[in-house]
Amino acid sequence: MDISLQPSDGVKTPVPNKGVQISDRDTRRAPMTDETGKRMQWVTHLQRIRDEQDQKAFAELFSHFAPRVKGFLIRSGADATLAEECAQEVMATCWHKAHLFDPARASVATWIFTIARNRKIDVLRRERRPEPEDLGWGPEEDPAQADVLALQQESELLGKAIADLPAAQRDLIQKAYFGDLTHSEIAAETGLPLGTIKSRIRLALDRLRHAMK
């Protein structure tokens, strides 16, 4: 007996089942919130780039993320020309490394963020970038869609939690990630004592962690 497919109690708009059994790899039709749908769409885009060298998917990825990467690099201290150049390199790296993306462990935005961060350290700071030892396994060839969806939904929650933070806390977190400022430099910029900054960041993080539960 399948009780999930055909509710017989006259519900007109089928409530999307919370989508843990998506077998169809084409996630555009997956029942989920718009936001998660978007995230899943980026995942599919990367898979198309990986499997089919799909330029149309890449063009969409590019128009969404390249300006954000450029903004990140400018806020990190690059001039416009360098930031533009690096943003292009970051996007090219997305193409070349699409096979390394693990959608059960990161959102596409997170993955691109780490590539952009790495490029920032390579180019702006001209430093080597020590990385943790590999765990010994790469992304699964075809990770369980349930795991992928769960992760993408969690990153949506995280995004919402940030949006719900008081402006001052949100601003500090953004500075910590974008501004290339140490916490004491943040203090200098905002005129707040360091301890306050730290506890504000901690508070923001605690709230986020709470929201993620």
Partner 1 sequence: MDQKIKHHLSDEILMAYAAGTLPEAFNLMVAAHVSLCDTCRAQLETFEALGGAVLEDAPGNDMALSDSAFAATMALIAGGPVDTPKSPRVVSDDVLPSPLCEYVGGGLASVKWKSIGMGVKQAILPTSKSATARLLSIPAGAAMPDHGHHGTEMTMVLQGAFIDDDEYFARGDVEVADSDLHHTPVADIHEDCICLAVTDAPLQFEGLLPKIAQRFARI
Q: Does residue 213 touch partner 1 according to CB under 8 A?
A: no
Find the shortest distance in angstroms from Cβ 92 to partner 1. 4
Which residues fall within 8 angstroms of residue 28, CB to CB, at 6 or more apart? 37, 41, 44
Q: Does residue 101 touch partner 1 according to CB under 8 A?
A: no
Q: Which stretch binds partner 1 (CB under 8 A): 5-13, 22-30, 73-81, 141-149?
A: 73-81
Cα distances (Å, whole numbers) of residue 76 to 92, 170, 176, 179: 20, 17, 10, 5
Cα distances (Å, whole numbers) of residue 176 to 5, 134, 135, 173, 185: 47, 26, 27, 5, 10
Site for partner 1 in 164-203 (CB under 8 A): 173-174, 176-178, 180-183, 198, 201-202
Rounded Cα distance, 123 and 86, in Å: 8
Interface residue with partner 1 among 118, 146, 169, 190 (CB under 8 A) is 118
* Structure tokens that stand for 19 in this block: 């989508």
Find the shortest distance in angstroms from Cβ 190 to partner 1. 17
Q: Which stretch binds partner 1 (CB under 8 A): 8-16, 25-33, 64-72, 187-195?
A: 64-72
CB-CB contact of 119 with 89 (8 Å): yes
Interface residue with partner 1 among 84, 203, 207, 211 (CB under 8 A) is 84
Q: Does residue 34 touch partner 1 according to CB under 8 A?
A: no
